[in-house]
Amino acid sequence: MSTTLGWIKKMKKMKIIVLTGAGISAESGLKTFRDADGLWEGHDIMEVASPEGFTKNPALVLDFYNQRRRQLLEVTPNEAHTQIAKLETKNEVVIITQNVDDLHERAGSSNVLHLHGELLKVRSTQNEYNIKYWDKDIVLGDTCEDGHQLRPHIVWFGEAVPMFEKAVLEISNADAVIIVGTSMQVYPAAGLVHYAPKNTPIYFVDPKPNISQSFIDNLTIYAEKASTGVKKVVDVLLDNQD
Ligand code: APR
């Protein structure tokens, strides 16, 4: 690994891809989905995070996201977000996140792809490209300029992931990949790592890592929480760039 990184440091600025999931925001106080007491323990996915659920009971869905949006405005980025932002001092960093919070941006990261949408944006129910910043509750009767009901700018289960192709392009020429805080259970996001070039160093940070060493070469696992594990990875990467 150090040979690979050593070779890279002489050639060019490294391109580092960071794939993140709900676990990176856990220490900021935001719930994950599948841990004990996670969001999917208290809610039925199909009722609150699907187009069918929104059609059946839009007020329930809007309230589910209103509660999460209000909480997001109360929390702050943690050390893991800050450390990842620090990587930008010497590297090209692209964050590809499944998270809908803005904690990466608030920590200073400048290139963030939200595969599953953003909690602080809304869009028209009749025009998925009519998107705007929105940090208030969304209620029935809140409409776009064409009079159509607004909905959260979130990719619901069963909906397309428009950013996926761009994410594949970004990871296809990565020099290193860091994966933090994801159970690797939701596709297509969970399959992204396979688009990294062969022999790309992969750093996996999660207290309960759900990735088998067998199927990915060059994998280093940090079985610990994001705030400490990410700092160790960032130290390794930056130390190799004297
Ligand atoms: N630091 C790092 N990882 C953590 C921490 C922590 N402090 N706490 C929990 N984790 C890990 C868990 O071990 C788990 O592997 O974070 C992961 C959270 O997994 P999920 O709850 O499944 O979240 P995620 O992988 O982001 O879910 C993917 O599923 O429901 C959909 O759209 C939703 O984007 C979400 C997608």
Contact call for residues 202 and 177 (beta carbons, < 8 A): yes
Domains of the chain listed by start with CATH number: 2-29+78-116+160-239 (3.40.50.1220), 45-73+124-154 (3.30.1600.10)
Instruction: Tell if the pTM clears 0.90, that is, is over it.
Output: yes
Q: Which atom of ligand 1 is nearest to the CA of 210?
A: 15
Contact call for residues 24 and 204 (beta carbons, < 8 A): no
| Whether the predicted pLDDT of 5 surpasses 70 | no
Question: pLDDT at position 11, please?
Answer: 55
Place of tokens 């794939």: 19
Q: What is the mean pLDDT of residues 127-143?
A: 97
How many angstroms is it from 224 CA to the middle of ligand 1?
13
For 94-105, write each residue's pLDDT tens digit. 999 999 999 999
Q: Does ligand 1 come within 6 angstroms of the Cβ of 182?
A: yes
Assign residue 29 a region: left if phi > 0, alpha if psi is -120 to 50, beta otherwise? left
Give dist(CA 164, CA 61) in Å, integer: 25
Between 186 and 3, the higher pLDDT residue: 186
Catalytic residue among 81, 104, 116, 153: 116
Q: What is the mean pLDDT of residues 62-89?
A: 97
For 175-202, write each residue's pLDDT tens digit. 999 999 999 999 999 999 999 999 999 9
| Whether the predicted pLDDT of 120 surpasses 60 | yes
For 137-169, write each residue's pLDDT tens digit. 999 999 999 999 999 999 999 999 999 999 999
Which residues are CB-contacts of 147 (< 8 A; sequence separation ≥ 6)?
Answer: none
Per-residue confidence at 115, pLDDT binned at 50, 70, 90? very high
**Is 153 a residue of the active site?**
no
Q: Which atom of ligand 1 is nearest to the CA of 21?
A: 26
Give dist(CA 63, CA 73) in Å, integer: 15
Q: Does ligand 1 come within 6 angstroms of the Cβ of 216?
A: no
Binding-site members for substrate are: 65, 68
Single-letter amino acid code for the residue at 121: K
Exposed e or buried b for every residue in 36-45, given b needs 16+ CB within 10 A? eeebeeeeee
Q: Does ligand 1 come within 6 angstroms of the Cβ of 185?
A: yes
Q: Does ligand 1 come within 6 angstroms of the Cβ of 33?
A: yes
How many angstroms is it from 150 CA to the middle of ligand 1?
28
| Whether the predicted pLDDT of 9 surpasses 60 | no
Instruction: Say what the ipTM of the complex is.
Output: 0.99
Between 87 and 12, the higher pLDDT residue: 87
